[in-house]
Structure 1
């Protein structure tokens, strides 16, 4: 049996079934794609409405004062979301056209062995985010348990474990579970947050205006650093855009897919960010769950808000933090999808997420994002240049699955460019993502053209006729 795929952007491919490749890593056929445009938008709304993004909003308030005022915050948000959506629409095309996942897409640039390193750089932050979202959800679940038991039960650790088990069970059902979880959660959570938004405006408007709205803020480095944090927060997601677009029904243009990212992320991210900043301004606490308990001083309302927070944690994990590392584990260990997704959940349990956010400050979360985005920026630069510039959108998909094919081994140019880009990013960590993108991109083009002249990774690229690759062909 073989999968045959043909399109204007890829060469005709016949992909034989390989017992060493799990079915979940094989290209998705049109019949296997079940996600329509509306559920896809709800998926990104559900992903945007989460406590991680709210905590980023809270991170604006440091020692009782905002580093950015409301205008600067939303200008930074709009700039970041526009860039995020553009990268999403560019990077989702290979997965959308061919049905391959991100870990297979990486082979085009890094090679089969080289993709192990770059896939881990996506998978590890996702697992930590998985644990962080679950810990936030576990904190909210603990609030529910305290209300139900009259304070007799109080253990965030137990609630954290319980929530992680629930998510592991849900994730066993794959994208089918994601669709309905996201559709339900995005609607319910948005309604709950609208209520919280009203409470904050009604009861805490003076503190919010003083500490955030009318703060002096800065249009300098803190402004650009916050754009980088915004983008770094989504860097892993749009890096693995193929993991999502391969599930989307065919026939949707590139521009429409871009809109499917921009508008849901703008609405969800912008709203949740504002509430995070408002909560921190009103309470001085960076942990949104604990801030909610103070702002909403009513056990019944706290119960429902906490329930929505739990749903939000599950929703974002189902989209952003479970599938990508699961594919990485499947690729590295040859495990089937269900055992791999279980291992992902267990790793999330031991990620120590509570270290990132303390009651007084969420700066640890922002620094974590900036550090890992120093590596993810170079990777996304390399794979986009590979697909659009170096290979002119022409890829033989079957070659990506051949262990002894043209993408076997590793591409030294890609590995070296990634290291150079990441090293440059750490020179100014607040601008890590954009520095990594630019430096790695330039380095990769130069290395592919002038270095490693015998590299087989030049075959089929615009650099094929440079160096000894072309000379050997002439001799033959």
Structure 2
């Protein structure tokens, strides 16, 4: 059996000492302080194994949102085997894209906003960083609110007087909601403040813990309902013809990809810690197709069993736990889904803005400070007031989310097609006008123009169809439209007016991701 060797980053690293924090970045002489801090610099040591990456994806899948999304796919009116095919195709697409975005960060040891400097310019990279950071900040508030709903159930069951707190309201949220939100806000902030190693340990534990409870819930519900009453198809009414089911299958595939588009875009924030790209790919394989399919099957088993057990279809796990009624079930289930939602919130919506906002002003904003900016901002956005409003989400998060596709396409085109997988790591920390990534006053005009033009098309495809009531199916594919256009337009602009440098693979300051034996 071959021994796995950690992938070296391009720049030589200083030796580790007992006082060196694991995962801390190495700031080399010559790095501009306006572009550098210990959190953004190339890692001294990359230690994450395949299991750590697997656990990351478990945390991203195991949530109330993941449960509802997976269950909804089985209620689209198509046969269960067609749903499974759509799940497989969709999650395999996610796996391929996750591998693509993982490689540049794992190879160089830098987070998502920094690797973007090679494509957008050392200052232009702040544009995608701010966009991704704002999206994550908003969803951080939403996920914390959803987790608070689970905690409310526990309080109401075990503290009878808690019901009196449902009446007083401030800024649209009742007193009990504020208490639950505050408890989770502080708990998540404390975990985040402890650093990436503590977060890694938490997600390593949280993913399997959620599975234990999910399996127990499925066994209980199926045993109570009777195996003969379980169906993998949750839809009602006459089944669709094969021809009519094809567009629905395609929509299901698009839904799976869109669900993962946020964490997929900034997956480099995590893959940078991988000890090798091979380890990251194995973790992605276990965490995406294997994990997602198993979780989806557990979800549909639980949802299907609610019909004979409770007399109605319940696709919300919080409501399912409430319906069981037993104090132990409510306590265990409530805390489990709190844990699950905290897991996805930390990995998908806390770490991303921490790096993104730190990238804007590294001297003044550390990784921890960037995360706390997002945490405070999530409260100021009062997500409970607009989360249930489809129009509000469409014109805010819908617009921002539509930009994820172009950002992904530009990064992939820049790294793989134009840049030939070669990155001058040290130049990503230089504001020298002669630097390789200074471009035009720190901005690559090709990348900016691509984002503006293709972003406008992507936003239009996401917002206009539901707003105008025409070709409503088009909005399901806004990510694909934006990604494809971003890739093609950026590549075309770079061919017409090259801006990205042509790097020599033999240059010792250049990391060559295409080198044989190093991928």
Which of 426, 445, 448 is matched with 2:491 structurally?
A: 445
Distance 1:364 1:201 in 2: 39
Distance 1:291 1:114 in 2: 47
Distance 2:202 2:446 in 1: 41
Superposition TM-score, scaled by structure 1 size: 0.83
Asked if the contact 2:318/2:334 (under 8 Å) is kept, the reply is yes
**1:430 corresponds to which residue?**
476
**1:466 corresponds to which residue?**
none
Distance 2:30 2:12 in 1: 15
Deviation at 1:139, TM superposition (A): 0.8
Structure 1 unaligned spans of 5+: 8-12, 463-476
Asked if the contact 1:414/1:444 (under 8 Å) is kept, the reply is yes
Q: Is 20-29 or 413-422 further displaced after alignment?
A: 413-422
**2:234 corresponds to which residue?**
211
Pair 1:228 & 2:254 matched: yes
> Do the aligned partners of residues 435 and 91 (structure 1) sit closer, same or farther apart at CA in structure 2, a change above 3 Å counting?
same
Aligned residues: 440
**1:327 corresponds to which residue?**
355
**Which SS does the other structure have where 2:235 is aligned?**
helix
Asked if the contact 2:321/2:329 (under 8 Å) is kept, the reply is no
Which of 63, 67, 89 is matched with 2:99 structurally?
A: 89
Deviation at 1:60, TM superposition (A): 4.3
Distance 2:219 2:449 in 1: 51
More helix as a share of residues: 1
Which of 176, 200, 219 is matched with 1:198 structurally?
A: 219
Pair 1:248 & 2:299 matched: no
Distance 1:261 1:355 in 2: 35
Structure 2 unaligned spans of 5+: 1-8, 14-26, 167-175, 462-473, 505-519
Distance 1:272 1:36 in 2: 22
Which of 173, 193, 196 is matched with 1:175 structurally?
A: 196
Which of 319, 323, 326 is matched with 1:298 structurally?
A: 326
Distance 1:316 1:386 in 2: 29
Deviations 1:411-461 (A, max 9, x none): 2211222233333333321111111121221111111122xx4x6x24327
Which of 401, 412, 419 is matched with 2:445 structurally?
A: 412
Distance 1:95 1:306 in 2: 36
> Do the aligned partners of residues 313 and 367 (structure 1) sit closer, same or farther apart at CA in structure 2, a change above 3 Å counting?
farther
Q: Is 380-389 or 111-120 further displaced after alignment?
A: 111-120
> Do the aligned partners of residues 287 and 357 (structure 1) sit closer, same or farther apart at CA in structure 2, a change above 3 Å counting?
farther
The 5-angstrom pairing of residues 330-341 of structure 1 reads: 330-333=358-361, 334-341=364-371
> Do the aligned partners of residues 173 and 298 (structure 1) sit closer, same or farther apart at CA in structure 2, a change above 3 Å counting?
same
Deviation at 1:317, TM superposition (A): 1.8
**1:307 corresponds to which residue?**
335
> Do the aligned partners of residues 71 and 156 (structure 1) sit closer, same or farther apart at CA in structure 2, a change above 3 Å counting?
farther
Distance 1:262 1:216 in 2: 33
Deviation at 1:106, TM superposition (A): 0.9
**2:501 corresponds to which residue?**
459
**2:116 corresponds to which residue?**
106
**2:84 corresponds to which residue?**
74
**Which SS does the other structure have where 1:34 is aligned?**
coil
